[in-house]
Structure 1
Amino acid sequence: MEARLLQKSDRASLFAFINSESHLDRSAVDQFFHDVIENKKGIIVIEDEIIFALVIFEERLLNVCGFKVKAAHVIQSILRQDGDQMGLLKKCFDVLKSEYLITLNHLDEHFDVNNVFVNRQAYTIYRQHLPNVKGYYVSDDYEPQSLHSLYRYFMSKFSIAFDEKDQLDLEGLKQEHEIFVSQNEEGINGFIIYSYKKGVMHVKTLIYKDAKALLSLLNQAMGMNDKLIVEVSSFEHINKVIKQAVCEASDEVEIIVNNLEVFIRLFNHKSPNITHLINKNKLSYYFV
């Protein structure tokens, strides 16, 4: 058996595999197959043109203490029900780990990996709990480069977070979102990107240098709404600024750490001995 990247020439084998192993109806199989073969990256385990495993992933950048790492974020795995599922998954991961740090949200029963960090949290904030601030004003007048610079500065402050790109696609975001900046006499100190989602104001991106910038931007997004939902990283404790803010959801991400420099930065351990670290901290993370 060979584990390798999925190729366009694997169309027939991939369709047969999805049709037999995914438990989707015919129309859903067609749609899923087209999306995978045209838009996604995948690793397959294949022998004699028969696919035994498919791991779908997307390339992402992970910011670890200011160190950029190319990560393969696993979206989904489909494994032959009658095969060695753990062995098949390991074959796929062996291909990925040669080039990427591997991150994943979950792999159900296939892999015993514990959470390393919470990537995103969603806070619900009600109008009556959001204080006003003075000395800062909000507008939609900005130079794109100033927002890109602020975004990079903001991302560098976190010990670990996904960093999709150094620049935001502001023109693309403006098609469906509102974008406003917060300013004082020193210049722009934050910006916010938001839109309605299922009738509720939803803040997609919130970048700020201080608490006043954060509050001024949230007030802008709140407008005449009774509440809003804001997504932030796990390192941002919104409820320290707005005590009544309620954290209702989180996106937990697991990491298979197969990069020595990432390991050192992540655990602040200059001469990492994995067994010692796990025993000392009572961890059960999976390291490759």
Structure 2
Amino acid sequence: MVVRAKIEREIQKHILKKEWDKAISLYQDLIDAGGESGDVYNRLGDMYMKKRDRASATEKYLKAIDLYVKDELYKNGTAVCSKMLRYGIERPDLYFRMAQLNAKLNLGFEAVRWFNMYLKNDSTLECLERFINEYKEMLTLLSNHELLHERVKNIYIKVGIKLEGMDEHFEIKKEGVSEKEKEFLLSAVTSAKAYIDEEHKGNRDKEIKIYRDMKLYKQAIGVLQQQLRESPDDMETMKLLGLCFLEDHKPRLASKIFKHIIENRGLSHETGEEIRGYLDTAREKMKYVTT
């Protein structure tokens, strides 16, 4: 304790003189002397920010958050996350950590808000396996908030957006993924489908929109094809089907649909131009399709 107190006094002297490198070196000595804590890594991150070394600061801040979580100092963890965001350090895992910490603080609405922000980020999949246990823990915590049941259900749907095609991802990376983890991840898509069946059965327009929002294009295509069997001349349904084929990386099928629509003589000039634009996009994408 005497050694740590002495090091901390020396650190403060260097901070007052704005000698950041010397302060950082002493913080490392403090850690080596058994002084590892969220507070120490938080302050170490501050020193690196003073030096404008954002990469090193980020590393230390994230370590501080992990230690705060370990020590159940959740408010401290949210403070560090908020500080990083104020500094413009935008990372999808920060949104996730804010959701996790707020869930542990029993702040359900805040947890949901941050988790929704996390799920909107295109890089979510990269963080998915790292946080698999936290996902399960957090969704369990949130499910205990009766007033949040609808929002939590929507979160499962949004998780489904990111997990569509996850089966293939797991096949590529076979090691380190247990059957229970895989079962949990894929249950998100099942939950999404159950939500659609329960809430929007018979409302095909809403069903198609939800599937497209979730990037579950195969399901959307199935509903649209059923609609066309019932109304073969419905141009709007054909257009949506073509767009779904495009979104599902099937430009050849999309091209056939758009050509068929253009052949219809009853199209307005404006609609014709719109469909020709889609057809051009499909043809351009066909250049990069080998099968």
TM class by smaller structure: under 0.3
TM-score when normalising by structure 2: 0.26
Which fold has the larger relative contact order, with Cα–Cα distance below 8 Å and residues 6 or more apart in sequence? Answer: 1
Computing the radius of gyration from Cα coordinates, the structure with the larger value is 2
TM-score, structure 1 as length reference: 0.26
The structure with the greater share of residues assigned to helix is: 2
Q: Which has the higher strand share?
A: 1
